Structure formats: C-alpha cells, structure tokens
Amino acid sequence: MILESTEQKSEQSSLPETIRSNGSNSWWAEPRWVQLLSDVFALTMSFFLYQLVRQWVIVDATFTRYSAADVTLVCIVTCSYWVLVLWFGGLYKNYYARSPFEEFFAVLRYTFFGSALFFVFIFLSSSEQFQRSPRFIFFVYWIITAVLMVCGRYVARRIQRYMREKGIVRVPTILLGTASRVGELFKYAVEEKVWGYLVVGGVIVNRENEMFSPPSRMKLLGDSSSLIKILELYRPKEVLISVANVNHSELLQITTRCIDSGARVKIVPDLYEIFSGQARTQQIHGTPLIEVSPELMQPWEIFVKRFLDITISVIVLLGGLPVWLLTALVVKLSSNGPVFFIQQRVGRNGVVFPMYKYRSMVTDRDREPSWTSRNDPRVTPLGRFLRKSHLDEIPQLLNVLYGQMSLVGPRPEVPHFVNKYSAILPYYKRRLKVRPGITGWWQVKSKSNDESLEEIEQRLRYDFFYIENISFKLDLEILVRTIFVMMKGHGKA
C-alpha cells in the first residue's frame, strides 16, 4: 500500500505539481536545446572563420562580392543543413546518453560526412581556384567546423553539469528495489549531484521486514503492490532499480509498468541477462547502468527505414499490379468468400488496425481466433500455394503504406493472443514498442509450430533479438533472407 500519514496526504496532493516545477521541464534547460544552441553558435563562427581562411590561404576574392544580406542567408542555410545532418546522426539527445569521447567522435564522423556531402553539391559551381585544390579546401573546412563544434559541445556539457549540480535542472526520480538496496541507491543518487536527480521517494520490492526505516531524507512511498498508483501520483521522469534476490518475472512486470507510465528506467548491470532484447548498457558519468527501452535506431535510420518501406511497397504494388489483380480474380473464382481476409491485429503501442491478406481459407465467421496448424482443412487448394509462397501477404503492403506496419518487424498478433500471453508473460508487450512487420527475424530463422507457451517464448527471443539489434543493416539482411525463404516455399500451409 502507499505509505502516508494524514499530514502527508495534503502535502502529497500538491507534490506532483511541485515536482514538475522543479524538474527539467523548461525547454531551454533540456540538454538537446543546449546542444542545439551551442552547435548553432559554433557553426556560425565556423562559417565566418572559414571565409576568412579562404581569403588568406586560397586568395579567393569571391567572398567580397557578396552583400551582407547574401552572407547572412547563406549562413542560415548552412546552419540549417548542419543541424539536419546532426539530428539524423542522433546527436540531439540527453548529454549523459553517451560518453564524452563517444559524442566527440560522433561529431567528427558526422561533420566529415556532412562536409563531404556539402562539397559535392558546391564543387561544380565553385571558382576555378577551388576546383584546382578541392581536397585541401575540404580538409580546411572540415577541421574548422569539427574543432569549433567539439569545443561547443564541451561547453554545452559543462553548462549542463553546472545546472544539475546547482539544482537548476532536476530530474524527478523514484528509487525502487529491495529494502537492503534502496538506502544505498538513495545515498549514491544524493551524493552524485551531477546526475541532477530530485529523489521523490522510494518503493520497496519484497519488503524484507516491516521495521525497515528509510534514510532520514528519503520518503517511503509504498511497496510494489501499489506501484501503478504511485507512478500515476508522482509521475517521475526516471525510475532507478536496484534489487537483490528478486523473482525475475516480478521484476519484468515492475519494469514494464514503469516504462508504460512514460518513465525512463535504469537498473543495476547484474540484471542484464533477464532483459535480453530490451536493454542497452551505458556509462552515465562513469557509473555503469542499464537503460531499458532506449531508442535503438538513429533518426537517419528511422527515416531511411520508412523511406525504404514506402519505396519498396509502391514498386512491388505497381510493378506487379497485373499479377495481383489476376491473383485476386482467381481467389474470388476458386472458392466462395471475399478476395481479402481482413483481421484486427495489434500494432505499435497497442494500436489495433485491420490487416489485409489474400483469403487462403474457407469463410468461417463463427470460429474463435486460433493458430493455423499444418494441413489445416480450412486452407483452400489455391490458398495452400499462396501461403507456401507467402504471396498471401502482398496486400499487407497497403498496411505498410498506411504506416500501420513496416516491411521488417515482429509479426502483429490478434488482440486475443496479445491479451492472453501478456497475462502470462509480463514482458510480452515489449514487442509492441516497434512497428510490426510483414517479415522478421523469426520468420527467416525459425519455423512455425503449433500454439504453445514454449513457441511464444521462442518467438519472443527472436523478436527481442531484432529489437535489441534493430538497424538499417539488419533490415536489409532480413529482406534478402526473406526472398530466399519465399523461393524455397517454407510458408505454413
């Protein structure tokens, strides 16, 4: 239950507003905005410094021909271009999401890529002097941009560190764990002011004894049985977990509830093995923690993945349109029933959508949701071929165009099975954090079996592997493997 005295009730009723006002909710204090402002300043300085160096080193007088308005416009366009490149590179995140060296090397990498792309576009329209020594000019431009941006990023980090140490930026945080660990975690969170944690209180998991007394400055909010109410009341931005000898299933359920509330979850590293497919280890100010459910794809990968989804779907649908129309006609003539089988499926974040397939079975509206078994008598002769070749999945490209599915991702399930197995496996809904796909890692690496808990757990292992390693490269590998699977006719019929 939530532990609170009568005197505490009135205080806690207004506490969430207090927490929000003291937290890092001011837009200018968010790390990404400090990074953006430092980048814009560094990019502006690098633009004008490069123009000066260009005159001194290359003796190119073209700069003096531009008016102040033209120079300002070019500067704005250049800065906008660079902000877009850095955003695609995932460089506008909370500053503790990567180590300083990782961030600085990322800046060097993306400024090099951005400079190369930038110079390709301007090469043909540049002066003759530029075209005689493009590599030297490119190197000068990249060095100036990279050095100033690294310096700007370093200053941004120092500013963020100062604001956290002085309490200007605070992160409302709840500590959760066994009684023997919460006190230690509180002491560490308070001593490390650079983290900027505003500790709201502690929640005990499997309380070891009723006499446990929290540190004098830490409020005991309750135990894990009241976790949902506590999260709704205090709405923390982060939850830190430290447990000892806890049931893994219970911990997964607790973590899922924290994530569903919108809080970031960080746990001690010795629990990594039970969060396979859900976590990525990080160094936060030199202290190893595991952040559950991070954004594993860079913005540019998200953009390219969606672009690839739309491009391939349009090409396949339009390029094979005569074949798909003929298939629809044969489906209609070969058996009674509609051309398409439309079924409700659960997509990303639990959103239900209608999924389309060519009908491959006889119509049976009264049948309860069930898995298709091998040699299922409901499958029509034509449907057997469509399922073996996976051609029955082609209409799902419409779902891809609508944004309900992706080409690659965990297979969407019907609400009945999502509800059924979420009650048994508390981490089942973790697969709903990404857009479902027509094909996936499980489809190309395993074979479908009859419904069972073991089969579901096996599928989850494949789904979590994909989620943990999700990348543009892995998507391409799965698409290529899918083509060979279709050619071999491994579909379940």
Percent of the chain exceeding pLDDT 90 equals 22
Domain assignment present for 149: yes
pLDDT digits (tens, 9 = 90+) for 305-339: 999 999 999 999 999 999 999 999 999 998 888 99
- For residue 26, name the pLDDT band (cuts at 50, 70, 90): low
Give the CA angle between residues 221, 203, 230 to the nearest 5°: 55
Domain contains 1: no
Q: CA 245, CA 80: separation in Å to the nearest integer? A: 52
Lookup: tokens for 397: 């490209």
Q: Which of 283-287, 301-305, 483-487 has the lowest mean pLDDT?
A: 283-287
Residues 161 and 174 in one domain: no
Can you state the angle between helices 227-234 and 248-260, rounded to 10 degrees? 30
Tokens (6 digits) for 16: 């969430």
Instruction: State residue 9's pLDDT score.
Output: 42
Average pLDDT of the chain is 79
| Position 483 in a domain | yes
Pair (10, 87) in one structural domain: no
Final residue before a domain boundary, out of 273, 292, 311: 292
* Host H or E run for residue 176: strand 171-177
Q: Which of 211 and 150 is assigned the larger pLDDT?
A: 150
Of the residues 145, 165, 185, the one at which a domain ends = 165
Mean pLDDT, range 66-82, rounded to an integer: 84
Residues 329 and 469 in one domain: yes
Residue 340: in which H helix or E strand, if any?
strand 340-346
C-beta separation of 481 from 444 below 8 A: yes
Q: Let me know whether 304 and 420 are in one domain.
A: yes
Please tell me the predicted confidence (pLDDT) of residue 157. Answer: 86
Check residues 189 and 247 and name the one with the higher pLDDT: 189
Average pLDDT over residues 476-480: 90
In this prediction, residue 286 carries a pLDDT of 47
Instruction: Return the axis-axis angle of helices 227-234 and 15-22, rounded to nearest 10°.
Output: 60
- pLDDT tier for residue 126 given thresholds of 50, 70 and 90: low
Instruction: Looking at the structure, tell me whether residues 150 and 177 fall in a common domain.
Output: no
Are residues 161 and 176 part of one domain? no
Last residue of a domain, one of 111, 146, 165: 165
Looking at residue 80, its amino acid is: S
| Long-range residue pairs from 273-280, CB within 8 A, at least 24 positions apart, any chain | 274/248, 276/461, 276/464, 276/465, 276/468, 277/430, 277/460, 277/461, 277/463, 277/464, 277/465, 277/466, 277/467, 277/468, 278/427, 278/430, 278/464, 278/467, 278/468, 279/468, 280/468
Q: How many residues does the chain have?
A: 493
What range defines the domain where residue 190 resides? Answer: 6-23+170-292
Same domain (yes/no): 17, 85 = no
Distance (Å, whole) CA 442 – CA 408: 11
Q: How many domains does the chain have?
A: 3
User: Is the same domain home to 160 and 199?
Assistant: no
pLDDT at 171: 84
On whether the CB atoms of residues 292 and 465 are closer than 8 A, the answer is no
What pLDDT digit, counting tens, does each position of 336-363 carry?
889 999 999 999 989 999 999 999 888 7
pTM of the predicted model as reported, rounded to 2 decimal places: 0.66
Give the per-residue pLDDT at 309: 94
